[in-house]
Copies of this chain bind each other. A is one copy, B any other.
Amino acid sequence: MFQSDGFRALERQECLRLLAKAPVGRVVYTRQALPAVLPVNFSLDTDSSVLLCTSRDSDLARAIDGVVVAFEADEFHAEHRAGWSVVVTGRAAVVTDPAEHERLLRTGPDSWMPMRDGVFVRIEAGMVSGRELTGASVHGTA
Contact = CB atoms under 8 A, between A and B. Distances in A.
Contact of A76 (B4, B23, B34): B23
A2 B4 CA distance: 55
B5 A114 contact: yes
A39 to B, nearest CB: 5
A72 interface: yes
Contacts of A5: 113-114
B115 A34 contact: no
Interface residues of A, number: 39
A43 interface: no
A137 B36 CA distance: 25
A72 B40 CA distance: 13
Nearest to A82: B112
A133 B113 contact: yes
Contacts of A85: 38-39
14 contacts: A3-B116, A4-B114, A24-B78, A26-B74, A28-B28, A30-B35, A34-B70, A36-B70, A36-B87, A37-B37, A37-B70, A39-B72, A39-B76, A113-B133
